[in-house]
């Protein structure tokens, strides 16, 4: 987070007058998340999180809040936005759009084990299945047309090898669009820092602000590309197998999906390579740290390309 | 940072009445640092950072503030605490101890190149030299007696191999205390996130809250252990050579220091392995993320042990 907004006790007390969730007993600013200000808000009834949206487009917020609501009501462990007495999820406080959501237990982990990877796979399948009867849609802002549109700005910043890889991969992906892959709601950013655990039990999936409508397999590839990577940056076969099997158990993968898997793994790596490249070469004004090195995802993409034929063998759940 | 404190515009205006640094024009909360709340505070005169100390022991703060003052006045690019009209560096605001310091340009980097490693080496030597006539002292709270005192709590949490390594290394270090190594002020935590750069130029060293009095070579080892590590966790010879040469140019290393280098590299790795192990197995109440995986520093320590004879050859600046 580069900026946070101060909410006073009396601001929070006024806000709570719109709700039926008790009286304020504690308000504590917490630093987590890049785009939002968050407070732990405790009332005489329960524990909540108050989020002020600092950077997201206001017109997109209803999609995210209603999606979290829908998923929470379908037993996905995710923050549940609380409606005020008028039935509204989207509030205003300190001149910012805001929301109060349920507070989840657990902590994020940096080094997942196989049991935790299985939990991630199972919960990702649950999100996909629970999203089937969610009516709103949102086009993926980080899909093929996005990376194509950024390429002209990025290519002059890259060395010859990287530029060739980027151009070749964008072309390859354009020739391998699987229109018939099963689609629906995807999280699109289920990295390690967006899941909470209590021991081996997943207690929460958070940060739905990249969620959108796209192919489920793309979401699975993004997830595997983060959770199943060893410290030296290669895909770990066993934890990949654990995550995929647990997913498959809940939502069996189709024959088309098995065939498309190596292509989608590449697409997932390309998507984050491109966004890291962009953040690195075109940093936002006022950022305090240089963006993360894009190199990690370039290597991962090259590895996926090299290992493409071998990776198919993973598909024996 | 797990918690932040809200400072209102009128709080900041009252604080500035104690100073001769102009009128408040902007106050912006920023999330950086784990132990403190920070605000960008802009006045009609200049740009500053207002820091509220959330977790540090109040009796230690004068050491840190006076050290930064001293170093800044000796041309070390570091935050310069600003004295109020009574000549005080340590303030109080919102019931917290606080300080106003100069705001430095630049950003932290994640993947340093050789030129940047040289800048780090040169500036670390400058800190050591500038600290020679700083009169206050502070015992290193993360030295040999500290890791010895934690071992009984840590050993039952480790597998047999790790426990043996920890015990053996603590004993090895106890048998290799170089009492005659040149000593003085050390930063003790000059990791990548504590240096700011504008391109290849180092524009700031920040976060002096582990600074203390200890052997300069230990500080150099801690620094090399972070800046000169490749993505796969091994020590990069060329960037190590760059950092050490640049340091040596400003403050030539003694024969004793050259001999002690492999031992101190191990001590630096042990220090952070132990603190990561402790944070991992005994997390503080209220932390939102699990502590970083200690494994990185265990591997580094093992590597240093394996490569001990080979590493001596690096010492040909």
Q: In the predicted model, what is the mean pLDDT of residues A282-305? A: 82
Q: Do A147 and A263 have their domain in common? A: yes
Q: Do A58 and A207 have their domain in common? A: no
> Where does the pLDDT of residue B151 fall: very low under 50, low under 70, confident under 90, or very high at 90 and above?
very high
pLDDT of residue A287: 66
Q: Do A127 and A95 have their domain in common? A: no
Q: In the predicted model, what is the mean pLDDT of residues B138-166? A: 96
Does the pLDDT of residue A311 top 90, yes or no? no
Residue B108: inside a domain, yes or no? no
Residue A1: inside a domain, yes or no? no
> Is A109 an interface residue toward B (CB < 8 Å)?
yes
Domain count across chain B: 2
Q: Which domain holds residue A59?
A: 9-102
pLDDT of residue A199: 92
Q: In the predicted model, what is the mean pLDDT of residues A52-60? A: 92
In percent, the amount of chain B with pLDDT more than 90 equals 81
Residue B2: inside a domain, yes or no? no
pLDDT of residue A284: 77
pLDDT of residue B250: 97
Greatest CA separation for chain A: 61
Q: Where are the alpha helices (DSSP H) in A46-155?
A: 61-73, 114-130, 144-154
Q: Do A120 and A25 have their domain in common? A: no
> Is B317 an interface residue toward A (CB < 8 Å)?
no
pLDDT of residue B171: 95
The tens digit of pLDDT for each residue in B73-86 reads 999 999 999 999 99
> Where does the pLDDT of residue B309 fall: very low under 50, low under 70, confident under 90, or very high at 90 and above?
low
- CATH number of the domain that A17 lies in? 3.30.200.20
Q: Do B96 and B226 have their domain in common? A: no
Q: Do B156 and B272 have their domain in common? A: yes
Distance in Å from the first CA to the final CA of chain A: 40
Judged by DSSP in three states, B106 sits in: coil
> Mean pLDDT in chain B?
92
In percent, the amount of chain A with pLDDT more than 70 equals 93
> Is B284 an interface residue toward A (CB < 8 Å)?
no
pTM of the model: 0.83
Residue A2: inside a domain, yes or no? no
> Where does the pLDDT of residue B33 fall: very low under 50, low under 70, confident under 90, or very high at 90 and above?
low
Option in B110, B231, B288 nearest A233 (CB): B231
pLDDT of residue B1: 46
Option in A1, A108, A110 nearest B31 (CB): A1
Chain B, nearest residue to A34 by Cα:
B31
Residue B93: inside a domain, yes or no? yes
Bigger pLDDT: B248 vs B34: B248
> Where does the pLDDT of residue A219 fall: very low under 50, low under 70, confident under 90, or very high at 90 and above?
very high
- Angle in degrees, CA B200, B266, B228, rounded to 5: 15
pLDDT of residue B230: 86
> Mean pLDDT in chain A?
92
Interface test with B, best of A8, A29, A204, A294 (most B CBs within 10 A): A29
The number of beta carbons lying within 10 Å of the beta carbon of residue B156 is: 8
The tens digit of pLDDT for each residue in B196-226 reads 999 999 999 999 999 999 999 999 999 999 9
Residue B257: inside a domain, yes or no? yes
- Decide which of B102, B132, B156 is a domain's last residue: B102
Q: How many CB pairs under 8 A join A and B?
A: 83
Q: Where are the alpha helices (DSSP H) in chain B?
A: 9-16, 61-73, 114-130, 144-154, 160-175, 216-227, 237-250, 255-281, 295-306, 308-311
In percent, the amount of chain B with pLDDT more than 70 equals 93
The tens digit of pLDDT for each residue in B85-97 reads 999 999 999 999 9
Q: Do A187 and A50 have their domain in common? A: no
Cα B1 to chain centroid, rounded? 16
Flag the least confident range among A68-72, A111-115, B3-7: B3-7
CA distance A11 to A93: 7
- Decide which of B102, B130, B151 is a domain's last residue: B102
pLDDT of residue A29: 87
Q: In the predicted model, what is the mean pLDDT of residues B284-294? A: 72
Contact A254, A182 (CB under 8 A): yes
Contact B2, B21 (CB under 8 A): no
Q: Do A191 and A274 have their domain in common? A: yes
CB contact under 8 A, A3 and B289: no
The tens digit of pLDDT for each residue in A226-258 reads 999 987 788 899 999 999 999 999 999 999 999
Residue A190 to residues A173, A193, B298, Cα–Cα distance (Å): 22, 8, 28
Q: Do B85 and B122 have their domain in common? A: no
Q: Do A95 and A205 have their domain in common? A: no
Residue B109: inside a domain, yes or no? no
Residue A296: inside a domain, yes or no? yes
Q: In the predicted model, what is the mean pLDDT of residues A165-191? A: 95
> Where does the pLDDT of residue B32 fall: very low under 50, low under 70, confident under 90, or very high at 90 and above?
low
CB contact under 8 A, B107 and A283: yes
CA distance A84 to B217: 60
- Decide which of B102, B132, B165 is a domain's last residue: B102
Q: Do B292 and B154 have their domain in common? A: yes
The tens digit of pLDDT for each residue in A256-289 reads 999 999 999 999 999 999 999 999 898 876 666 6
Chain A, nearest residue to B8 by Cα:
A6
- CATH number of the domain that A181 lies in? 3.90.1200.10
pLDDT of residue A317: 46
Q: Which residues of A touch B6 (CB under 8 A)?
A: 6-8, 29
Q: Do B98 and B118 have their domain in common? A: no
Produce one character per residue of A231-240: b if its CB has 16 or more CB atoms within 10 Å, e if not. eeeebbeebb
> Could you please report the per-residue DSSP string of A131-195?
GGG-----B-TTSHHHHHHHHHHHGGGS-HHHHHHHHHHHHHHHH---TTS-EEEE-S---GGGE
Does the pLDDT of residue B129 top 50, yes or no? yes
pLDDT of residue A313: 41
Does the pLDDT of residue A309 top 70, yes or no? no
């Amino acid at each position: 987070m580069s900026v946070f907004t101060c909410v006073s006790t009396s601001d929070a007390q006024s806000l709570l007058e719109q709700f039926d969730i008790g009286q304020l007993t504690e308000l504590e600013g917490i630093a987590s998340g890049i785009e939002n200000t968050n407070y732990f808000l405790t009332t005489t009834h329960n524990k909540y999180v108050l989020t002020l949206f600092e950077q997201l487009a206001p017109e997109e917020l209803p999609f995210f809040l209603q999606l979290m609501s829908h998923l929470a009501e379908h037993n996905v462990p995710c923050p549940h936005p609380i409606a005020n007495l008028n039935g509204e999820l989207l509030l205003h406080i300190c001149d910012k759009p805001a929301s109060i959501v349920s507070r989840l237990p657990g902590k994020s982990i940096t080094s997942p084990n196989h049991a935790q990877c299985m939990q991630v796979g199972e919960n990702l399948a649950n999100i996909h299945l629970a999203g089937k009867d969610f009516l709103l849609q949102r086009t993926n802002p980080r899909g093929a047309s996005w990376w194509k549109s950024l390429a002209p700005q990025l290519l002059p910043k890259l060395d010859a090898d990287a530029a060739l890889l980027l151009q070749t991969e964008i072309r390859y992906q354009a020739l391998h669009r699987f229109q018939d892959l099963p689609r629906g709601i995807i999280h699109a950013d289920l990295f390690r820092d967006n899941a909470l655990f209590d021991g081996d039990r997943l207690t929460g999936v958070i940060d739905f602000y990249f969620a959108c409508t796209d192919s489920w397999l793309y979401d699975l590839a993004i997830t595997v590309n983060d959770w199943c990577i060893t410290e030296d940056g290669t895909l770990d076969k066993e934890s990949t197998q654990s995550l995929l099997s647990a997913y498959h158990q809940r939502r069996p993968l189709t024959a088309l999906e098995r065939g498309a898997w190596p292509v989608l793994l590449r697409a997932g790596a390309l998507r984050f390579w491109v966004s890291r490249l962009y953040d690195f070469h075109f940093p936002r004004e006022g950022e305090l740290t240089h963006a993360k090195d894009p190199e990690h995802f370039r290597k991962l993409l090259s590895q996926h390309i090299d290992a493409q034929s071998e990776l198919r063998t993973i598909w024996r759940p």
